[in-house]
Amino acid sequence: MIHTIVVSDPTFSTFPVEIKVTLRGVPGPILRDGKVSHKFTHKFTMEITDDYPYHKPIVRWETPAFHPNVMLPEDGGYVCTRLLDEWDFNSTLLTFFKGIESLLSNPNPANPYGTDSCTRAAEYFNKHPYKPPEIVQSAKKAPRILGDRNEPERAGDPGG
């Protein structure tokens, strides 16, 4: 399957390019006041290098998370996912984004990063598996790129 991406913003027409990504409506664990809770908005930066699509994107997580596979921003913000380890020429960014959504809701405590926060999250989720709240499918929206300078803002669409 081939995913064609049409980009009208010249900023994204040559590599390397850095993309700020915000995932909304995706449950992921966070530690608040000593208790595990849910966070539904997550941000990360993705750099697509000159070698794309032969080389995987570089990802840096920017929002706090209580997750064995996502480092806190102050620890480097790395994301431990098989999607990046198994990246090849046929991999797509859409598949990657969907994989990140799945990873957030399904922490893998058997394969944590070695940071203190990731290790603590792994220990916690080994004893108490994460149960994300169910998201109503009709509320989920397809991924979209925001910030096209050439497209006028649509009335009633707060996202642009």
Domains in the chain: boundaries:
10-129
Cα separation, 138 vs 149, in Å, equals 29
CA distance 73 to 47: 16
pLDDT at residue 9, rounded to an integer: 67
Q: pLDDT, tens digit, for every residue of 2-43?
A: 444 555 666 666 788 898 999 999 999 999 999 999 999 999
- pLDDT for residue 54: 84
CB 89 within 8 A of CB 43: no
DSSP 28: E
Quick count: other Cβ atoms within 10 Å of Cβ 117? 20
Which of 72-76, 78-82, 85-89, 101-105 has the largest mean confidence?
72-76
Say which CATH architecture domain 10-129 belongs to.
Roll (3.10)
pTM listed for this prediction: 0.74
